Amino acid sequence: MVNPGTESSAPLRVAGGVFTLSILHLESNNPQQLAQRIAEEYRRHPAAADFHRHAPVVLDLSAIPEEAPLALPEILEVLRAAHWFPVGLRNAAPGHQALAQALHLPVLRGQERNAAPQPETPPPAQTVPANPGGLIIDHPIRGGQRNYARGGDLVCLAAVNAGAEIMADGNIHVYGPLRGRALAGVNGQETARIFCMSLEAELVSVAGLYRTLEPGYPLWGKAAQIYSRDEQLHITALNL
Amino acid sequence: MAKIIVITSGKGGVGKTTTSAAFASGLALRGYRTVVIDFDVGLRNLDLIMGCERRVVYDLINVIQGEAKLQQALIKDKRCENLYVLPTSQTRDKDALTTEGVTAVMDELRKEFDYIVCDSPAGIESGALMALYHADEAIVVTNPEVSSVRDSDRILGILAARSRRAELGEEPVKEHLLLTRYSPKRVEDGEMLSLGDVKELLRTPLLGVIPESEVILQASNQGIPAIHMENSDVAEAYKDVVARFLGEERPLRFIQPVKVGFFKRLFGG
């Protein structure tokens, strides 16, 4: 408290956070069956009971048909009786989402529900480009510009200037000087690498590991590759 | 077909307005019908540099808002036969510029003129975006120092992404680099980035180098575009810029420090 008893002028602190939660895939809309399944599980693996005790859990409803009635209060009761903390729903049909809202249970996003259980439809005709997600850029990338190769490699045949940002789910190759920021493996691919002909980057990152660089760096201005190994970022000279 | 050229930089105080005035005058001296437009709404400067501030009655904003005809706002330059100035408003702010309004003015000017020179405000906000939107070519004015180069790089990126040509997927805006306030002596002493450094950082074709000179200050204060300052290196450098822009070959001048002779050093200049 800054000033007990008086109104604080500081704004309310609201910040984003990322949490890992367990997801329970609901097999049917029958609460009794769920109770039975949990009891079986705990009998078979007594340790699981301890593990799940007081664990927050998200219910995945993708297996529940849209028109099926859902006894959500009873299902939540079963979970609580088994010492779980249901914190949200996902992949719920619109009707089920309304139920959750009535119970003040958040509907979480991610992995959207398919419109209907898909009867084996053939994959849509070849709409995939020859180079899926790859991006080749043949002009300088200027300060303030951002390029992202989603699902593939990014190749830049010119300079990446200070203040520019290039990102790729795969590898990054820069054949001009790399002076901006380069982030490879941004979707978590740890085997991604950055290759450049002149390392002058402000920041390099592979799969979330990053470091900043200064002009005094030993490989400054040299051809280099950047990769991740054992949770560490390695920068080595490209001696070809 | 008229060609629209934006004089831009990102950073302020690097010589955009000086360059706009000198460059537009230079085109007019070559016989081209030229108009130079001030886009810096609220910070009207071009008319001062052109020496026509006492003749401003209507301005660009009046034309956009339908309060005056274009012909009423255009001011004929007193030195060049073919040059007109379209001043901006001192009292409004940049929100008075609307996309439709600017487009209408540009379309009308295209019919009358060979070259339309747009003097952009500093920054990357709506005024600057309006000034560069219609450009066919861009002259990016840069000083030999790191922050100016960085801002020029940013504006080059915006030209490539936000111009009309970029939005319509046409041939990109043709980019020219103009290095101003260049002091070969200070480059030699390591106080300024060299021509080579700037070219290496921006990788944009060089249109010219304007030396740092007191003549620029004299010219601005007298309301004379620098290209009219006879026998000055600045005027010569701007004439070279215009010639290169028109496709002529001119060697770069004023990029070597002036050698001070033995006697001059001994007895002072």
| Environment class of A194 (CB within 10 Å of its CB; exposed 0-12, middle 13-18, buried 19+) | buried
Q: What is the pLDDT of residue A7?
A: 58
> Got the DSSP string for A2-44?
-STTS---SPP---------EEEE---S-HHHHHHHHHHHHHH
The domain defined by B3-267 folds into: Rossmann fold (3.40.50)
Q: What is the pLDDT of residue A128?
A: 42
SS (H, E, C) A60-87: ECCCCCCCCCCCHHHHHHHHHHCCEEEE
More confident residue, A31 or A123: A31
Confidence class for position A107, pLDDT limits 50, 70, 90: confident
| Range of lowest pLDDT (A25-34, B112-121, B231-240) | A25-34
Rounded CA Rg of chain A: 25
Confidence class for position A176, pLDDT limits 50, 70, 90: very high
Distance CA A198, CA A204 (A): 13
According to DSSP, the residues that pair with B34 across neighbouring strands are B83, B115
Q: Which of B2, B15, B26 is nearest to B229 (CA)?
A: B26
Q: Do residues B64 and B101 touch, judged by C-beta distance below 8 A? A: yes
Q: How many helices (H) and strands (E) does chain B have?
A: 13, 8
Q: What is the pLDDT of residue A113?
A: 56
By C-alpha distance, the chain A residue nearest B162 is A145
By C-alpha distance, the chain A residue nearest B147 is A162
Q: Answer yes or no: pTM beyond 0.90.
A: no
Mapping DSSP to helix (H, G, I), strand (E, B) and coil, where does residue B81 land? Answer: coil
Sheet-wide strand order for B3-8: B75-76, B83-86, B34-38, B115-119, B3-8, B137-142, B174-182, B206-211
The answer, yes or no, to whether residue A111 has pLDDT greater than 80, is no
Q: B-side interface with A, Cβ within 8 Å?
A: 150, 153-154, 156-158, 160-161, 201, 203
The answer, yes or no, to whether residue A164 has pLDDT greater than 80, is yes
Q: What is the pLDDT of residue A127?
A: 45
Distance CA A227, CA A184 (A): 9
Distance CA A203, CA B236 (A): 44
Given an 8 Å threshold on Cβ–Cβ distance, is B154 in contact with A159? no
Q: What is the pLDDT of residue B135?
A: 98
Q: H or E stretch including B233? A: helix B233-245
Given an 8 Å threshold on Cβ–Cβ distance, is A144 in contact with B157? yes
In chain B, which residues have their Cβ closer than 8 Å to the Cβ of A147? none
Mapping DSSP to helix (H, G, I), strand (E, B) and coil, where does residue B52 land? Answer: coil
By C-alpha distance, the chain A residue nearest B160 is A142
The answer, yes or no, to whether residue B220 has pLDDT greater than 50, is yes
Distance (Å) from the C-alpha of residue A198 to the closest C-alpha of chain B? 13
Q: What is the pLDDT of residue B69?
A: 95
Distance CA B256, CA B184 (A): 5
Q: What is the pLDDT of residue A129?
A: 47
Percent of chain B with pLDDT over 90: 88
Tens-place pLDDT, residues B142-189: 999 999 999 999 999 999 999 999 999 999 999 999 999 999 999 999
Q: Nearest Cβ partner of A143 from B157, B161, B203?
A: B157
Distance CA A115, CA A95 (A): 13
Give residue for tokens 């300060």: A143
More confident residue, A179 or A29: A179
Given an 8 Å threshold on Cβ–Cβ distance, is B160 in contact with A144? no
According to DSSP, the residues that pair with A210 across neighbouring strands are A205
B76 is in an annotated binding site: no
Confidence class for position A8, pLDDT limits 50, 70, 90: low
Interface test with B, best of A139, A146, A147, A161 (most B CBs within 10 A): A161
DSSP state of B42: T
Confidence class for position A155, pLDDT limits 50, 70, 90: very high
More confident residue, A141 or A40: A141
In chain A, which residues have their Cβ closer than 8 Å to the Cβ of B150? 143, 162-163
Q: Nearest Cβ partner of B157 from A142, A158, A176?
A: A142
Q: Do residues A86 and A59 touch, judged by C-beta distance below 8 A? A: yes
Q: Does ipTM exceed 0.95?
A: no
For range A207-212, the mean pLDDT: 94
Tens-place pLDDT, residues A133-142: 789 999 999 9
Given an 8 Å threshold on Cβ–Cβ distance, is B150 in contact with A143? yes
What do you get for the CA distance between the two ends of chain A, in Å? 61
Distance CA B114, CA B118 (A): 13
Given an 8 Å threshold on Cβ–Cβ distance, is A162 in contact with B150? yes
Q: What is the pLDDT of residue A119?
A: 47
Distance CA A93, CA A29 (A): 13
In chain A, which residues have their Cβ closer than 8 Å to the Cβ of B125? none
Tens-place pLDDT, residues A113-134: 554 444 444 444 444 444 567 8
Confidence class for position A36, pLDDT limits 50, 70, 90: confident
Q: What is the pLDDT of residue A192?
A: 97
B99 is in an annotated binding site: no
The answer, yes or no, to whether residue B23 has pLDDT greater than 90, is yes
In chain A, which residues have their Cβ closer than 8 Å to the Cβ of B154? 142-144, 163
Q: What is the pLDDT of residue B107?
A: 96
Mapping DSSP to helix (H, G, I), strand (E, B) and coil, where does residue B121 land? Answer: coil
Given an 8 Å threshold on Cβ–Cβ distance, is B157 in contact with A139? no
Q: What is the pLDDT of residue A6?
A: 53
